Amino acid sequence: DYKFWKTQPVISFDEKISQEGPIDSRKTVADISEKPLPLLEGFEWDTLDLTSTKELDEVYNLLHENYVEDSGESFRFKYSAEFFDWALKPPGWKKDWHVGVRVKSSKRLVAFISAIPLRLKLHDKIIESVEINFLCVHKKLRSKRLTPVLIKEITRRVNRYDIWQALYTAGIVLPSPISTCRYTHRPINWEKLHEVGFSSLPEDSTKEDMVKKYYIDENNEAIKLEGLRKMTEDDVDEVLELYNKFQAKYELIQVFDKEDLKHWLLKGKEVIYTYVVEDKSNKKITDFFSFYLLPFKILNVPKHEQLNISYLFYYGTDHDSSKKELETRLKLLMKNALVINKGLKIDVFNALTSQDNTLFLEDLNFGLGDGYLNYYLFNYKAFPILGGINKHTKL
């Protein structure tokens, strides 16, 4: 019955929204305690230094052993030091916001929660906020109500910087999602996905049918995009312009400056991949797309150690004068993304039903997954965004 969440400034399930805006009456930094919240006896707070390999490894190990698993306990996210560098240290990151809980006696890290700065734009209002992620409590400490303490402590630490809003996502339902997206999966190496139990064989199909259905021909001249290449630092200005133009139609977006864009699209080696299409005649960038890599560790099939997974991230195109043109162009871009993914030995390409993804998902054989992703705002009332975050209705 959401004993904790009922006490927090979030939208309740049956609430009718009449106007968008903050929920809590405006506080100031001076109202916020300088002291951390009290913790269970025997535990202590620790601010982690993720520039230190040792502490980064501790977070890695905690999450590796205790973070999100699928319900069958067959897979677990396999985060890497490089991934955390990318996800937890964007421009403006604060050490204060990498919060750990340790056992006092052994100093063992048993819980973690993080915030990163995030400038949101919701229906033309800029909201200075943070994104909360990587909340994790050691399996042996579950159901002891440590989570509310972690959330209140990260809230305190964020408030101390005069920030009062947050965005977070979760698979579980809490009061109340502003939007919900579904995960979709595009098998690339169907055979391996089947062997590890990620993809099942439909009753009316054979394995050969499935392999054929998902076959990607990397030599298909018909989809070759002239001028497709990896994005470099020299492209940042142009890609930012394209990003801004393309995202303008969405209801809830992340506002990037040059440094942000450089970080999110270029910084993580072997984590984030971004490609652009350059028009050879005038050297202008007409399109870009990006995806990040986050493998699964396979827990119970000895033959395979990990599943290579990539996630579609941001994209944009100039070819969007009509819905039809946009649809055609996105299909072409995503076909090229699939070829690149195959070259990187990715087993499955995931995408949410966000942005303009529904224009190409079905055609390109993305299948609906079991997983949903709920988006939440902390201390902000907003009209629900129907049909998935960023899915626009204007075109």
Among 164, 273, 315, 366, binds ligand YNC (CB under 6 A): 164
Q: Is 172 in the site for ligand YNC (CB under 6 A)?
A: yes
Among 48, 62, 87, 166, binds ligand YNC (CB under 6 A): 166
Minimum Å distance from CB 149 to Mg ion?
Answer: 8
Residue among 130 and 137 whose Cβ is closer to Mg ion: 137
Q: Which does 383 bind (CB under 5 to 8 A by kind): ligand YNC, Mg ion, none?
A: none
Sheet hosting strand 306-307, strand order edge to edge:
75-77, 296-298, 306-307
Altogether, the residues listed in the chain come to a count of 395
Tokens 């986050």 sit on residue: 294
Please list, in sequence order, all residues whose beta carbon lies within 8 angstroms of the beta carbon of residue 170, skipping any fewer than 6 positions away. 373, 374, 376
Minimum Å distance from CB 362 to Mg ion?
Answer: 41
Q: Is 23 in the site for ligand YNC (CB under 6 A)?
A: no
Long-range pairs for 156-162: beta carbons < 8 A, 24 or more residues apart: 156/32, 156/33, 156/36, 156/37, 157/96, 157/97, 157/99, 157/115, 158/97, 158/115, 158/130, 159/27, 159/29, 159/32, 160/29, 160/32, 160/34, 160/96, 161/29, 161/94, 161/96, 162/28, 162/29
Q: Where are the beta strands (DSSP E) in 158-308?
A: 165-170, 179-187, 228-230, 252-254, 272-278, 285-293, 296-298, 306-307
* x-or-dash string of contact with Mg ion, 36-65, rule CB under 5 A: ------------------------------
Residue among 144 and 212 whose Cβ is closer to Mg ion: 144
CA dihedral 179, 356, 296, 149 (to 10 degrees): -20
Of 60-68, 136-144, 201-209, 229-237: span binding Mg ion (CB under 5 A): 136-144
Q: Which does 172 bind (CB under 5 to 8 A by kind): Mg ion, ligand YNC, none?
A: ligand YNC
Among 122, 135, 293, 307, binds ligand YNC (CB under 6 A): 135
Q: Is 88 in the site for ligand YNC (CB under 6 A)?
A: no
Residue among 89 and 262 whose Cβ is closer to ligand YNC: 89
Q: Is 5 in the site for ligand YNC (CB under 6 A)?
A: yes
Please list, in sequence order, all residues whose beta carbon lies within 8 angstroms of the beta carbon of residue 109, skipping any fewer than 6 positions away. 46, 48, 58, 59, 61, 62, 100, 101, 102
Minimum Å distance from CB 39 to Mg ion?
Answer: 11
Stretch 328-387 residues interacting with ligand YNC (CB under 6 A): 378
Q: Is 196 in the site for ligand YNC (CB under 6 A)?
A: no
Indicate the DSSP class of residue 25. Answer: P
CA-nearest of 152, 135, 142 to 100 is 135
Q: Which does 163 bind (CB under 5 to 8 A by kind): Mg ion, ligand YNC, none?
A: ligand YNC
For ligand YNC, the binding residues (CB under 6 A) are: 2-5, 66-68, 130, 132-137, 142-148, 151, 154-155, 158-159, 163-166, 168, 170, 172, 174, 378
For Mg ion, the binding residues (CB under 5 A) are: 137, 144, 146
